[in-house]
Structure 1
Amino acid sequence: MIDSNLGQMWLLSYHKGKHWILIIIDFDHQLCYFLDSLHNFPPNEIKSLISRVFQHLRTNNAKTKEVTWRTVKCPRQPLQSVQCGFYVMRMMKDFVTNEFSMRWLTSNCGGKNSYTKDEINEVREEWAQCVMDLMSTT
């Protein structure tokens, strides 16, 4: 992160227990956006880890503000489903392909409540194609 360009964002998928979540890190503003398709709050262990990373990367000893966390109301996966990994991949895709990615993020993923089966299948197919491409090169 220390060599980040101004305005560059970091996307971190994190596996907690049996569940995937997404954290979008704005190093310049010391902001972390937390996206969880089950609408949980950021776990203390990840908040602590990210805080330590920020402390380590600071280039001077001047007191700077603490990391700010913003919980984003993102698309919610269906109850009793195990689609969290695909939801994280879809949110990542939506963020990086959106012309106004910060507006998408700060408007709670454009106000989208859930993903359709077709939207999730699109990510599944892209992921499968990527794996097939990697397998064919080895």
Structure 2
Amino acid sequence: MPEEKILQFTIDKEVFGRERDTFLLPEDITQFAGMEEIGATVVAVYMRYLHDVLKKANMTSMVGFIDPATPSLGLADCKGKEGNRLFSGSSARSSCVDEEAKNIPSRRKAVIWKTLSGTPKQPSSVECGYYVMRFMRDIIIDPSLAYAKGNQEASYPQEAIDEVRNEWSEFVYQIIEQGNY
């Protein structure tokens, strides 16, 4: 991808509750490739990838995503789902969504909130986005949350972070190859 090229594509309404255009800049890709601190756009692209994974497994009703670029709006627009797991890529706290976000409008199905203990500790703020992406992946891969019962106080090994980085890179490459931007 040429340095001056901006990768623009649309994230469908079914991912964040509203359709939104995403602009992936060359510096986003460079930072991601260099394992530097990443922004909300990179995390949103991975959420879009995870939505595809859930779709293939016929599990989209179990998980809802909150747009990390606009968490308040994303939460307000998020429709209740059977499983009611909401992911916000805006922080790597020990809960899936900010504690203040528990005030879901009453017309929606009640959400069962779980604060997960034993979440992996990130060594510094640079790893935050990568840890958020890996943690979301762990939850989707193991819906029983059995992994959360184990002692995960240690940091993720670099191989676990690289697995997420490879998935993200392959997804972005597919978008470029298909010309879906």
Q: Name the TM tier (shorter chain).
A: 0.5 to 0.7
Structure 1 residue 124, shift from structure 2 partner? 0.8
Give runs of aligned pairs for residues 1-138 of structure 1, distance below 5 A: 8-13=61-66, 15=68, 27-28=81-82, 37-39=92-94, 42-44=98-100, 46-48=101-103, 51-52=104-105, 55-58=106-109, 67-73=111-117, 74-79=119-124, 81-98=125-142, 101-104=143-146, 107=149, 110-113=150-153, 114-138=155-179
Q: TM-score, normalised by structure 2?
A: 0.45
> Do the aligned partners of residues 31 and 119 (structure 1) sit closer, same or farther apart at CA in structure 2, a change above 3 Å counting?
closer
Q: Percent identity?
A: 27
> Do the aligned partners of residues 102 and 123 (structure 1) sit closer, same or farther apart at CA in structure 2, a change above 3 Å counting?
same
CA–CA distance in 1 between the matches of 2:87 and 2:175?
Answer: 31
* Alpha-carbon contact 2:120-2:152 (below 8 Å) kept: yes
Aligned residue pair count: 111
* Alpha-carbon contact 2:63-2:84 (below 8 Å) kept: no
Structure 1 residue 97, shift from structure 2 partner? 2.2
CA–CA distance in 2 between the matches of 1:29 and 1:11?
Answer: 8
> Do the aligned partners of residues 75 and 128 (structure 1) sit closer, same or farther apart at CA in structure 2, a change above 3 Å counting?
same
* Alpha-carbon contact 2:65-2:86 (below 8 Å) kept: no
* Alpha-carbon contact 1:72-1:105 (below 8 Å) kept: no
Structure 1 residue 9, shift from structure 2 partner? 1.9
Q: TM-score, normalised by structure 1?
A: 0.56
The structure richer in helix per residue is: 2
Q: Secondary structure at the match of 1:70?
A: coil
* Alpha-carbon contact 1:77-1:83 (below 8 Å) kept: yes
Q: Which runs of no fewer than 5 residues in structure 1 stay unpaired?
A: 18-25, 59-65
Structure 1 residue 27, shift from structure 2 partner? 4.9
* Residue deviations 1:1-51 (CA, integer Å, cap 9, x gap): 9xxx9xx5214355389xxxxxxxx9557777999634478341x222xx2
Structure 1 residue 131, shift from structure 2 partner? 0.1
